[in-house]
Amino acid sequence: MKRSNTFFVCLLVLLTGFTASLVDVAIESGPARPQALESADLVSRLGLTDLSLFTEARYTRHPSQADIHSAFQDHPVALEHFPTGSLLQPPSGLLR
Amino acid sequence: MIALLRKQRYFIDYTLGTMMRHKGKSLGLLTVYTIIIFMLASVMLFSHAMRSEAVALLADSPEIVVQRIQAGRSVMVPADYLQRIGKLRGVTEKRGRLWGYYYDPAVKANYTVMASEQDQLSINDIVIGEGIARTRGLSIGDYLTLRSHEGKAFSFRVLRLLESESELISSDLLLMNPEGYRRLFGIDESLYTDLVLSVRNPREIQKIAEKLTLLLPDSRPILRTEILRTYESLFSWRQGVMLILLLGSVLAFVIFAWDKASGLSAEERKEIGILKAVGWETSEVMRMKFWEGVIISLMAFLIGYLAAYLHVFYTSAGLFEPVLKGWSVLYPSFQLTPSVDGLQLATLFFFTVLPYTLATIVPVWQTSITDPDLVMR
Amino acid sequence: MMLIELTDVRKAFNQGKPNEFWAIQGITTQFEVNRITCLKGASGSGKTTLMSMIGCLSRPTSGRIRLQDRTISSLPERFLTQVRRHTFGFIFQRFNLIPGLSVVENIMLPAYPLGLKASCLRSRADRLLEQFLLADKASNPVEWLSGGEAQRVAICRALINDPQILIADEPTANLDSRLSREFMSLLDQLSKAGKTVLISSHDPVVFDSPVVDRVVELEDGLVVSGEG
């Protein structure tokens, strides 16, 4: 019975971790934290519309503001020409 | 009942014993399996957390943004459009925004420059996001020189930095006085980049947008719901890139697992024969093998999920950074708020634990329904 | 008192195919309780096939096998397993111990599906280990055992569920003559303790042994001598 005991202990530890992660989620997503309020204030004060996640080019910085016919924008969801965008590097002149 | 539980415990004991016989193989399998689940769970947790973070952050973004389209291109909006809109019912506030991009050749980065009235900055002061501060090595009191539309150099003093907690939305922001903005980019007093309208009742937004397009035929209203929708689909697309990358490894694992689980070796076949000969029923042999599948896949699932959880929420998803970063120079450092989608988690569970367990049982079933007297031959 | 009764038992392999082969071609005999019976014959004479049918490991193609008052040859698989579990203990030619498990785990193996209390099962196994002088080897892996020890472990495993009948298929094939004689004396003890033993062998140490009560000789799937 030794082996199954080891297994059950491992399982218990892992399940505790699993539960802890869910508890963590519940705590963290509870009442708004001060930094969340800070961000919310910034968004409403400046009227921000996008995350500053894709800063590599002008046309990717504000995807939600792009219209249907701007460059590299077949539709608001397509940010690049896939798969060209992932196969081709930018012109070498730009990389220098 | 207790006998039944004890029985399962004996089976677990037995199957662990046989697994330990090929320690390397079992541990290798567990490791590969765990890594696969770790990657899948990371993608899942990350994209879900990112989506909910985006939705939470942008919940206060303007209800309606009005752009002007001229000859198919976005152009500046004349200030008198604010008057032309006049008093629309339901609109509580309307104002013009001034913003644009500034390419800084020194660090090859694009800044998002915005004019801010509320910060009441003097004409020489700027407020910058953490990303710019980090990339340019700026701190409060330092000067940043920007080149104007006429080629003149303007120096701005960094008055303060935006909170680092808000980096996900403010990393590349550069806020300045509206007058300074107009002077830097040579924009006339009578122009705005776009207009933002606040609407109190969300049910009126659609109506107001329709009225706007009648009132200003060359305008293009963007609703907050569209902004949020952009972010939801955006991340599923990004997620797609990672899934493509993962597909290869998942397939490799499927082949590996199939080979391990389904191709019963002569040794295992004989073992099943022995068990049946000493009085195990077919269902009991299968129960035992079921536990083998459950042990491997449950352990892999739990370890993989926990590792992914720590990876995404406590190490800022470090492994995904290169994918998301792409060509950008300014990349926000951010900590996602832990959030888990129960349905997604259940899906991951059923698409990993279940197939593996089945893959271990089915071949055993085929073997163990044959006559057990093969051990005698 | 009759224990096992065979009536015109036949067994075919690959039936209906070109390589069809009748391993048992009609055997009618009885085996009595509390005796040691040896099935003697060259390899291929059908000893093992006959034993596997008696031990509920396989079913005859035709004919009937009765165990006391039950006809076991027509029982469905599930019931066969039940019968096998409670009535028979098996000792195989190559011992067939499960590698990777310890001696005591191998011995307890047939009892796992019964879901007994761990301490109760363990003490049962310990008693057997004691009886067969294996107590100090209990937690060793079976790979470390010598041939004689492995044979004794196999006997312990066969006895863990306290079966009425022991079936030993060529039990001495992998033992030298000293160990074979030792094995026969162990069987004698078990027989005296009330077990019925069926051995198949072509080893003279076995069928000439004084402890064997009856020798049944098989040839080409038929009984040629020793019919009950």
Q: Which amino acid is at A4?
A: S
Residues B243 and B130 in one domain: no
A53 falls within a domain: yes
Which structural domain range is residue C97 located in?
36-59+76-225
B285 or B72, greater pLDDT: B285
Tell me C143's DSSP state. G
**Rounded to an integer, what distance in angstroms lies between the CA atom of residue C63 and that of residue C69?**
16
Q: What's the pLDDT at A73?
A: 46
d(CA C104, CA B118): 80
What total number of domains does chain B contain? 2
Domain of A78? 49-96
Structural contact between residues B75 and B68, judged by C-beta atoms closer than 8 angstroms: yes
The ipTM, to two decimals, is 0.87
Number of compact structural domains in chain C:
1
**The pLDDT of residue B302:** 96
Torsion of Cα atoms, B26 then B31 then B33 then B38, to 10°:
160
Do B120 and B51 fall into the same domain?
A: no
What tokens were used for C139?
Answer: 């937690």
Q: B344 and B248: one domain?
A: yes
Q: Are residues B95 and B44 in the same domain?
A: no
Inter-chain CB proximity A21 and B338 less than 8 Å: yes
Instruction: Decide if C123 is inside a domain.
Output: yes
Query: Do B283 and B360 fall within a single domain?
Result: yes
**Cα-based torsion angle of the residue sequence B234, B238, B241, B245 in order, rounded to the nearest 10 degrees:** -150
- In a domain, residue C15? The reply is no
pTM: 0.83
User: Is A34 part of any domain?
Assistant: no
Residue finishing a domain among B222, B249, B273: B222
Number of independent structural domains in chain A: 1
Q: Which residue of A has its CA nearest to B334?
A: A53
Structure tokens at C58: 């396989």
Distance to chain B for C152, nearest Cα, Å:
16
Q: Are residues B338 and B205 both part of a single domain?
A: no
Q: Is the peptide bond before A83 cis (omega within 30 degrees of 0)?
A: yes
Q: What are the pLDDT digits (tens) for B27-48?
A: 988 998 898 889 889 888 888 8
Structure confidence at residue C227 (pLDDT): 64
Q: Does C48 touch chain B (CB under 8 A)?
A: yes
Residue-by-residue DSSP string for B203-225? GGHHHHHHHHHHHSTTEEEEEHH
Look over chain A and give the mean of its residue pLDDT values, rounded to a whole number: 73
In this structure, the answer to whether residues B363 and B245 fall within a common structural domain is: yes
What are the φ and ψ backbone dihedral angles of B158, each rounded to 5 degrees? -75, 110
Q: What share of chain C is helix, strand, coil (3-state, %, to 5)?
A: 40, 30, 35
Q: Provide the residue-wise pLDDT of chain C in tens; the chain has 228 residues.
A: 568 899 999 998 888 888 888 889 989 988 888 889 999 988 888 888 898 889 888 889 999 999 888 888 888 888 888 888 889 999 988 888 998 889 999 999 999 988 889 899 999 999 999 988 898 988 999 989 988 899 899 999 999 999 999 999 888 888 888 989 989 999 999 999 889 999 998 888 888 888 999 999 999 888 888 765
Contacts of C77 in chain B (CB under 8 A): 282
User: Is there a contact between B58 and A49 if contact means CB atoms under 8 Å apart?
Assistant: yes
**Residue C170 domain-assigned (yes or no):** yes
Query: Torsion angle, CA of B294/B299/B305/B311, rounded to 10 degrees?
Result: -160
For residue A66, is it within any domain? yes
CB A47 within 8 A of CB A61: no
Interface probe for B, chosen from C14, C24, C96 (most Cβ of B below 10 Å), is: C96
- B197, containing H or E segment: strand B194-199
Instruction: Please say which residue of B222, B241, B270 terminates a domain.
Output: B222
Report the percent of chain B where pLDDT is more than 70. Answer: 91
Torsions phi, psi for B287 (to 5 deg): -60, -45
Mean pLDDT throughout B205-224? 90
Judge whether C75 is closer than 8 Å to chain B, CB to CB.
Answer: no
Residues B126 and B97 sit within 8 Å (Cβ to Cβ): no
Last residue of a domain, one of B195, B222, B249: B222
C59 CB-side CA count, 13 A = 14
Instruction: Find the CATH number of the domain harbouring B110.
Output: 2.40.40.20
Q: What is the CATH number of the domain that holds C200?
A: 3.40.50.300
By C-alpha distance, the chain C residue nearest B288 is C113
Of A6, A22, A90, the CB nearest to B340: A22
Residue with tokens 């634990």: B353
Q: Are residues B347 and B246 in the same domain?
A: yes
Domain span at residue B283 reads 2-58+230-375
C4, part of any domain: no
What is the chain B residue with the closest CA to C44? Answer: B377
